[in-house]
Amino acid sequence: MDVIAAARMLDLPDWAIGAGFVRNFVWDHLHDRAEQTPLNDIDVLYFDPADVSRATEDAAEQALLRIMPGQPWSVRNQARMHVGNGDPPYRCTSDAMSNWLETATAIGVRQSAEGQLHLLAPHGTADLFALRLAPTAAGLVKRQIFLSRIRSKGWLDTWPCQKLAVMDDAAASPRR
């Protein structure tokens, strides 16, 4: 909650903390882990088409480091991320997340000024809570990148109780 509150302090437009921050927390809980799996980064997303400069993202990361030093902050304006991903321009943060490769990763959370939590889940939460790593439509189109991420991130080793639905290299049907 401290991490979410820190991100809220930046007052970024259409913001959320997403990806591994949410997924790891839920999967660690479902695996009855007493300690959280270390995060490579804390993905703070926002959407501001009026300012797509990397300098603004860097300034936001520096502000977060002053609020909570030592955290692996990564702030990215989703209004510019479509370029590197080869997608049409995104319309908002949730739209950008809908183009991520895994359904269980395409989940974010934000906190209102009143302290209420809001979930962004363009593909729903069923796969997240079922410990299922399934491709989104974008993950099916970018199948080799999806499969490479599963291997390189070590998710199958980190959370062995998963009931994963991944696309097997040898077949186009999900393997469980």
Instruction: Give the structural domain span for 94.
Output: 2-175
- What pLDDT is recorded for position 85? 85
Helix (DSSP H) and strand (DSSP E) numbers for the chain: 9, 7
Q: Which of 68, 66, 62 is nearest to 21 (CA)?
A: 68
Structure confidence at residue 23 (pLDDT): 95
**The pLDDT value given to residue 166:** 55
State which residues of the chain have pLDDT below 70: 162-176
pTM of the model: 0.86
SS3 75: strand
CA dist 50 and 47 (Å) reads: 9
* Strand residues in the chain grouped as ranges (E): 16-18, 42-46, 73-77, 108-111, 117-120, 166-167, 174-175
Return the pLDDT at 86. Answer: 86
Domain tally for the chain? 1
